């Protein structure tokens, strides 16, 4: 019988939720604030060894010879792993598209600076690093290609010889009659953009402790894994193990944001363990390794975009040409970031026709990995910039052009040209709210006065759709298979009425364990303290994916509520027997099973649970004495993509409107963010404090991408950014304190009406800041089309404008 999952808070079996929808304190926090949470580097196992990795100094080279004899003889060294071992024992990882994966270690050739070429397991990390220095490698250098425009050419140096060239994917999507729309348009605006590489950089780098069982031919991996089941399956493939012989035990992570990496480090540690006769091997990636070659690089893009606009401001068409530099292979699934924009290609707007032309290319830079947002943040920068360019071209205000193009509330669910369906939204309400909070007209007056003084003050007003609850079908265009991302939990009530839930993922900062406790406490009418959330490793977990794609708030809620419903149904049957009524007359409310209409006739859940597990004689015939159940949730009505990639993929569409005031110092080019306002609508807020944290955290990362963060390679393929002195994470001084307003347009399709919100403001903030910068520069007639808008870049533009103005007057 189909389970009906509550679609709003008032469908929960409680008079009034005490926990869901409230800013409850997090159950994760006491251990975190006392430093007692066990992150992976805390783990010490008997006989454990420590791994250090020797990395390629060359961006493209054949590995001709390797001599590890001196390293092996260093006291304290137990095993040394080389490409020959890896070739014998492992496979290149599977990728999407297929055929662009590497082994965990360079086998015959190395394709990027930082790629592992050897690894050592020793008594300490210090000794292991000493040993790496004693390994001798001979390389035959190959020509290097770091510019994707060059890499696309037929005669370019080829990274993967089995492939013909470096183009992983070339594809054009046409949605509706784009050419006709652009022909008929009253105005067409075109612009180019360059988004430089940025990446996740959680405060904790990747780490693992792997132990190969040489007798059973199985593997146990303890580590900072965001998606344990997915990781286990991947290791089975790469290490030639049966899929039920890899146990991944995820540890609480010090942040992840998608870019924790892990496959290479895990495989190397696992194979070292194998070589060391099964001793556990710990590998803790250090920050330099993370920056060079970990999961830390994403979104290296060249864009050309056009909009077709009518005189009244209606945008009828949107074309995007994207050249994406994936670096030295697709092992990190960075390719997904070019597909995901399909889920919200045209943003908040009723644009009917669109084209997306893609070239995804390999170069001798580090392979690209996921990062929060996973593609839309640069895409949104382009879309919102084009809206501003069109507005300026037509003499319209930035708010006005958006207002004229919004999808209207009564049009939902709304299918966008690229095929995804938005569940609900009220974009004009968010715009009005943020304009009111900011006193938009007052800010424009402030700006006008500042401009009279020659100051470069700018306002950015942008929208975003934040697709939530991802599905694999969104990525079919890059070769990912499958539809549906199940997430399961196991909920049980014990003989004393205490509630336990087992989940397949560990902590990462988004407060899901707290949410789990909130839901169960409200559903079963218990205190949050009496709910226990337990992590189950892949040997024991229900089907799961874990956090990612802003899904868990919805998916885990769906799984938990599904389990609750099943337990409720069973408890109603038992209570009916005990109270001698029909099952249909029993309802659950505020932690009691009671006869409808006769609230005095009621029984606490604990009593029912106790009876069920201790008095089998009292149970209805055929009822299993089991107060525990597994429930697996997946989004309903997802579809297979058609030939233009159209499908119902991401289930929810949260939206936000950001308004930011900036000033650029004319003399130095340095940008200061003066004011920042956000109106955010992610449906029902299951824990408002958590949502605000996701938003503000996204703002910080967005500011980093817009102003500070950048991976730089020189033309020889050498990375110039390899420490935190050069990769600039925003500090407390650079991140603006934001004023936030919450709007709630529930989703009609999700548990409790919540929408995915975990990726947060990173979708909007880069666009907001860059649009503000360009608004500030507008009187000079120049545009900043490259991120980050660093002081040097902006100064060059300002100076160029001054020089042009000077020569114009001579």
Partner 1 sequence: MLERLEDEDVDAKILAGGQSLMPMLSLRVARPEALIDLRKLSSLDYIREDNGKIAIGTMTSKSAAEDSDLIRTKQPLFHAATQRIGHRQIRNQGTVGGSFAHADPAAEYPAVALALDMEMTVVSANGHRVIPAADFFVTFLTTDIDSTEILTEVRMPKLPAACGWSFQELSRRDGDFALAGAAVTMSIESGKCANARVVAFGINATAVRLQSAEQAVNGEQPGEAIFALAGSKAAEAVDEPLSDVHASAAYRRHLVQVMVSRGLAEAAMRAGGKH
Partner 2 sequence: MTAPHRVSVTVNGKTYEREVEPRMTLADFLRQELRLTGTHVGCEHGVCGACTILKDGSAVRACLMLAVQADGTSLTTIESLADGDRLHPIQQAFIEEHGLQCGFCTPGFLMTTLELLRNNPDPSDEEIKDALGGNLCRCTGYQSIIQSVRLAAGKMREGNAGASQQSA
Q: Which stretch binds partner 1 (CB under 8 A): 269-277, 460-468, 553-561, 720-728?
A: 720-728
For the bound state, the minimum distance from the C-beta of residue 82 to partner 2, rounded and expressed in Å, comes to: 26
Long-range contacts of 569-572 (CB under 8 A, 24+ apart): 570/612, 570/623, 570/627, 570/629, 571/605, 571/608, 571/609, 571/612, 571/627
For the bound state, the minimum distance from the C-beta of residue 259 to partner 2, rounded and expressed in Å, comes to: 11
Per the omega criterion (within 30 degrees of 0), is the bond before 786 cis?
A: no
Q: Which is nearer to partner 2, 495 or 729 (CB)?
A: 729
DSSP 92: P
Answer yes or no whether residue 723 interacts with partner 1 by CB under 8 A. Answer: yes
Q: Which residues bind partner 2 (CB under 8 A)?
A: 23, 25-26, 28-30, 32-39, 41-42, 126, 201-205, 252-257, 286-288, 507-511, 689-690, 692-693, 695-701, 723-725, 729, 731-733, 735, 737-738
Task: List the single partner that 796 binds among partner 2, partner 1, none, CB under 5 to 8 Å by kind.
Answer: partner 1
Q: Which is nearer to partner 2, 215 or 725 (CB)?
A: 725
Among 632, 728, 741, 742, binds partner 1 (CB under 8 A): 728
Q: Which residues within the stretch 109-138 sit at the binding site for partner 1 (CB under 8 A)?
A: 129, 133
Q: Which is nearer to partner 2, 531 or 612 (CB)?
A: 531
Nearest of 189, 92, 746, 754 to residue 413 by alpha carbon: 746
Task: List the single partner that 735 binds among partner 2, partner 1, none, CB under 5 to 8 Å by kind.
Answer: partner 2
Q: Which stretch binds partner 1 (CB under 8 A): 146-154, 169-177, 503-511, 708-716?
A: 708-716
- d(CA 172, CA 415) in angstroms, rounded, equals 20
Nearest of 34, 138, 122, 36 to residue 81 by alpha carbon: 122
Which is it for the CA torsion 154, 160, 163, 168, positive or negative? negative
Answer yes or no whether residue 453 interacts with partner 1 by CB under 8 A. Answer: no
Answer yes or no whether residue 294 interacts with partner 1 by CB under 8 A. Answer: no
Answer yes or no whether residue 720 interacts with partner 1 by CB under 8 A. Answer: yes
Answer yes or no whether residue 3 interacts with partner 1 by CB under 8 A. Answer: no
Answer yes or no whether residue 14 interacts with partner 1 by CB under 8 A. Answer: no
For the bound state, the minimum distance from the C-beta of residue 170 to partner 2, rounded and expressed in Å, comes to: 35
- d(CA 504, CA 369) in angstroms, rounded, equals 23
For the bound state, the minimum distance from the C-beta of residue 269 to partner 1, rounded and expressed in Å, comes to: 21
Q: Which stretch binds partner 1 (CB under 8 A): 334-342, 351-359, 692-700, 792-800?
A: 792-800
Q: Which is nearer to partner 2, 122 or 784 (CB)?
A: 122
For the bound state, the minimum distance from the C-beta of residue 731 to partner 2, rounded and expressed in Å, comes to: 5
Answer yes or no whether residue 710 interacts with partner 1 by CB under 8 A. Answer: yes
Among 702, 730, 751, 766, binds partner 1 (CB under 8 A): 730
Among 576, 721, 764, 768, binds partner 1 (CB under 8 A): 721
- d(CA 554, CA 745) in angstroms, rounded, equals 15
Number of residues engaging partner 1 in binding (CB under 8 A) = 26
- Residue 3 to residues 483, 488, 633, Cα–Cα distance (Å): 21, 14, 11
> Strand pairing partners for 421?
415
Answer yes or no whether residue 670 interacts with partner 1 by CB under 8 A. Answer: yes
- Residue 346 to residues 153, 175, 765, Cα–Cα distance (Å): 31, 11, 17
Q: Which stretch binds partner 1 (CB under 8 A): 289-297, 356-364, 583-591, 726-734?
A: 726-734
Nearest of 580, 588, 581, 584 to residue 604 by alpha carbon: 588
Q: Which is nearer to partner 2, 27 or 231 (CB)?
A: 27
Residues 6+ apart with CB under 8 A from 453: none
For the bound state, the minimum distance from the C-beta of residue 132 to partner 1, rounded and expressed in Å, comes to: 10
For the bound state, the minimum distance from the C-beta of residue 131 to partner 1, rounded and expressed in Å, comes to: 13
Structure token digits, residue 335: 């390719």
Among 18, 404, 451, 796, binds partner 1 (CB under 8 A): 796
Q: Which is nearer to partner 1, 48 or 288 (CB)?
A: 288
Among 34, 65, 453, 731, binds partner 1 (CB under 8 A): 731
- Residue 567 to residues 547, 575, 576, Cα–Cα distance (Å): 25, 12, 14
- Residue 228 to residues 225, 248, 271, 440, 603, Cα–Cα distance (Å): 6, 6, 19, 46, 40
Nearest of 333, 352, 478 to residue 405 by alpha carbon: 352
For the bound state, the minimum distance from the C-beta of residue 708 to partner 1, rounded and expressed in Å, comes to: 6
Answer yes or no whether residue 668 interacts with partner 1 by CB under 8 A. Answer: yes
For the bound state, the minimum distance from the C-beta of residue 782 to partner 2, rounded and expressed in Å, comes to: 30
Decide: helix, strand or coil at residue 289.
helix
Answer yes or no whether residue 791 interacts with partner 1 by CB under 8 A. Answer: yes
- d(CA 352, CA 422) in angstroms, rounded, equals 14
Task: List the single partner that 799 binds among partner 1, partner 2, none, CB under 5 to 8 Å by kind.
Answer: partner 1
For the bound state, the minimum distance from the C-beta of residue 167 to partner 2, rounded and expressed in Å, comes to: 34
Nearest of 303, 311, 479, 451 to residue 383 by alpha carbon: 303
Q: Where are the alpha helices (DSSP H) in 58-203?
A: 69-73, 83-89, 125-133, 148-151, 178-184
- d(CA 361, CA 329) in angstroms, rounded, equals 9
Nearest of 210, 264, 276 to residue 234 by alpha carbon: 264
Task: List the single partner that 582 binds among partner 2, partner 1, none, CB under 5 to 8 Å by kind.
Answer: none
- d(CA 424, CA 681) in angstroms, rounded, equals 10
Task: List the single partner that 693 binds among partner 2, partner 1, none, CB under 5 to 8 Å by kind.
Answer: partner 2
Q: What is the largest CA-CA distance in the chain?
A: 102
- Residue 508 to residues 40, 511, 531, 760, Cα–Cα distance (Å): 12, 8, 20, 15
Task: List the single partner that 425 binds among partner 2, partner 1, none, CB under 5 to 8 Å by kind.
Answer: none
- d(CA 384, CA 706) in angstroms, rounded, equals 14
Among 708, 742, 778, 780, binds partner 1 (CB under 8 A): 708
Angle made by CA atoms 80, 86, 92, in degrees to the nearest 5:
145
Answer yes or no whether residue 733 interacts with partner 1 by CB under 8 A. Answer: yes
Q: Which is nearer to partner 1, 171 or 287 (CB)?
A: 287
Task: List the single partner that 710 binds among partner 2, partner 1, none, CB under 5 to 8 Å by kind.
Answer: partner 1
Q: Which is nearer to partner 1, 292 or 517 (CB)?
A: 292
Angle made by CA atoms 715, 321, 167, in degrees to the nearest 5:
55
Task: List the single partner that 670 binds among partner 1, partner 2, none, CB under 5 to 8 Å by kind.
Answer: partner 1
Site map (CB under 8 A) of partner 1, residues 648-667, x = contact: -------------------x
Q: Which residues bind partner 1 (CB under 8 A)?
A: 129, 133, 288, 667-670, 708, 710, 712, 720-721, 723, 725-726, 728, 730-731, 733-734, 790-792, 795-796, 799
């Amino acid at each position: 019988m189909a389970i009906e999952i509550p679609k709003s808070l008032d469908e929960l079996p409680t008079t009034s939720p005490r926990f869901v929808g409230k800013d409850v304190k997090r159950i994760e926090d006491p251990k975190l604030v006392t430093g007692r949470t066990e992150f992976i580097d805390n783990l010490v196992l008997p006989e454990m060894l420590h791994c250090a990795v020797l990395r390629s100094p060359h961006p493209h080279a054949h590995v001709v010879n390797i001599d590890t004899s001196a390293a092996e003889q260093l006291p304290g060294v137990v095993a040394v792993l080389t490409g020959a071992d890896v070739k014998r024992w492992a496979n290149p990882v599977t990728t999407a598209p297929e055929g662009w994966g590497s082994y965990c270690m360079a086998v015959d050739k190395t394709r990027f600076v930082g790629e592992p070429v050897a690894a050592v397991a020793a008594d300490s990390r210090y000794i292991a690093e000493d040993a790496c220095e004693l390994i001798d490698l001979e390389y035959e250098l190959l020509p290097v290609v770091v510019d994707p425009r060059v890499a696309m050419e037929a005669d370019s140096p080829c990274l993967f010889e089995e492939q013909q060239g470096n183009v992983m994917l070339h594809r054009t999507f046409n949605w509706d009659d784009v050419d006709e729309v652009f022909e008929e348009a009253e105005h067409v605006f075109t612009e180019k953009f360059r988004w430089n590489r940025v990446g996740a950089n959680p405060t904790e780098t990747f780490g693992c402790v792997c132990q190969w069982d040489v007798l059973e031919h199985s593997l146990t991996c303890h580590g900072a894994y965001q998606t344990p089941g997915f990781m286990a399956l991947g290791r089975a493939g790469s290490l030639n193990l049966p899929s039920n012989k890899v146990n991944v035990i995820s540890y609480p992570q010090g942040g992840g944001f998608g870019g924790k990496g892990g496959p290479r480090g895990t495989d190397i540690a696992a194979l070292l363990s194998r070589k060391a006769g099964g001793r556990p091997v710990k590998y803790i990636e250090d920050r330099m390794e993370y920056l060079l070659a970990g999961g830390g690089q994403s979104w290296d893009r060249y864009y050309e975009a056009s909009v077709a606009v009518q005189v009244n401001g209606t945008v009828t068409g949107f074309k995007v040409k994207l050249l994406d530099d994936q670096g030295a292979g697709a092992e990190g699934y960075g390719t997904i970031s070019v597909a995901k924009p399909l889920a919200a290609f045209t943003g908040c707007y009723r644009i009917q026709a669109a084209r997306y032309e893609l070239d995804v290319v390999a170069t001798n830079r580090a392979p690209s990995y996921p990062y929060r947002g996973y593609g839309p943040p640069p895409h949104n920068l382009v879309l919102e910039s084009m809206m501003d360019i069109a507005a300026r071209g037509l003499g319209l205000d930035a708010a006005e052009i958006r207002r004229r193009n919004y999808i209207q509330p009564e049009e939902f669910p709304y299918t966008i040209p690229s095929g995804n369906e938005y569940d609900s939204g009220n974009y004009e309400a968010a715009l009005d709210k943020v304009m009111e909070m900011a006193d938009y007209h007052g800010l424009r007056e402030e700006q006008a006065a500042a401009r009279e003084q020659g100051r470069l003050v700018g306002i950015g007003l942008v929208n975003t759709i934040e697709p939530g609850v991802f599905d694999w079908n969104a990525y079919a265009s890059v070769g990912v298979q499958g539809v549906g991302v199940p997430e399961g939990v196991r909920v049980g009530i014990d003989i004393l009425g205490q509630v336990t839930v087992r989940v397949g993922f560990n902590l990462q900062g988004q407060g899901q364990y707290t949410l789990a406790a909130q839901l169960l406490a409200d559903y079963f009418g218990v205190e949050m303290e009496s709910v226990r959330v337990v992590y189950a490793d892949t040997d024991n977990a229900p089907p799961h994916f874990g956090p990612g794609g802003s899904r868990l708030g919805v998916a885990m809620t769906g799984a938990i509520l599904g389990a609750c419903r099943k337990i409720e149904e069973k408890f109603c049957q038992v209570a009916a027997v005990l109270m001698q009524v029909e099952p249909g007359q029993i309802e659950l409310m505020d932690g009691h099973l009671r006869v409808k209409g006769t609230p005095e006739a009621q029984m606490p859940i604990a009593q029912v649970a106790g009876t069920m597990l201790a008095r089998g004689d009292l149970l209805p015939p055929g009822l299993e004495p089991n107060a525990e159940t597994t429930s697996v949730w997946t989004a309903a009505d997802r579809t297979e993509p058609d030939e233009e990639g159209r499908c119902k993929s991401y289930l929810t569409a949260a939206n936000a409107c950001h308004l930011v005031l900036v000033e650029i110092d004319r003399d130095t080019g340095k940008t200061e963010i003066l004011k920042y306002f956000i109106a955010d609508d992610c449906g029902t807020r299951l824990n408002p404090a958590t949502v605000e944290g996701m938003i503000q955290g996204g703002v910080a990362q967005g500011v980093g991408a817009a102003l500070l963060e950048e991976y730089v390679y020189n033309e020889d393929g050498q990375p110039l950014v390899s420490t935190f002195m050069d990769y600039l994470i925003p500090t407390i001084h650079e991140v603006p304190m934001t004023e936030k307003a919450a709007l709630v347009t529930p989703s009609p399709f999700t548990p409790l009406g919540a929408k995915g919100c975990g990726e947060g403001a990173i979708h909007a903030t880069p666009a907001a800041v860059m649009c503000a910068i360009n608004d500030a520069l507008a009187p000079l007639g120049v545009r900043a089309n490259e991120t980050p808008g660093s002081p040097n870049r902006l100064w060059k533009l300002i100076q160029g404008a001054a020089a042009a103005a000077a020569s114009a007057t001579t």
